Amino acid sequence: MQLADEFFLIAHHDSRAGRPRLNPVATGLGLAAALLGELVLSGHISLGAGLVTLVDRRPPADALAHTVLDHIVHEPEHQAVRTWLNFLAQSAAGSVGERMTRNGTVRREESRRLLRTSVAYVPVDINAAAWPATRLRDLLDRPDPPTVPDGLLFGLVTATGLTREVLWAAGPRAHHRLSVLIAALPPPLKELVMHTEAAVGAAVLRQ
């Protein structure tokens, strides 16, 4: 499962309704950061000094990652991390939801109320939907360090205010280990977490 897919499941209730745990802006920013993170992890882009740098313009295998990379390739005048977070956040929930629909993780449901049509992405398997958060909790109890993608997922969970949802029964030791793991991320990913947290904080203040 892709990084943004796992974040999507953590950011939504694992019930048949699939309701979001966060406000739409924070959810969108977290998913946008996860999409950028996928490209960093695959070696297509890097982050530094607040800027996104193109490293490899060859298209990724994943269609959504390919689309995000195309945006970056064709908009070289826009390099600020915050610009890309805000831009991708506008459509990230729908884009990731559609990718998960294609791979069979969720089911797209539309509902009409008055003149509005709302779309929800409902988990096909409740246990599978709950697994990413459960898996992260388990990782903090293990002595061996998590993988870099899991460390980034921990970072995005923290940056968007989802820590309580993941560590609802964890003690101080788990919270301390979480902060240590995030601090140990490679610099580009640590910077991505920092900018995501700042963007979410700014969005909360605006609201």
- The enclosing domain of 159 has a CATH number of 1.10.3630.10
In this prediction, residues 174-186 reach a mean pLDDT of 88
| pLDDT score of 164 more than 90 | no
Structure token digits, residue 207:
């609201």
Instruction: State residue 47's pLDDT score.
Output: 98
Structure confidence at residue 144 (pLDDT): 85
Structure tokens, 102 = 């294609």
What is the pLDDT at residue 17? 66
- The average pLDDT across 99-122 equals 87
4 pLDDT above the threshold of 70: yes
- Per-residue model confidence (pLDDT) at position 165: 81
User: What is the domain extent for residue 151?
Assistant: 3-206
Cα–Cα distance, 178 to 154 (Å, whole number): 7
What pLDDT was estimated at residue 167?
A: 80
Instruction: Among 10-14, 119-123, 172-176, name the most confident range.
Output: 119-123
For the chain, the domain total comes to 1
pLDDT at residue 100 is higher than 80: yes
List, in sequence order, every residue forming a beta bridge with 180; answer none if it has no partner. none
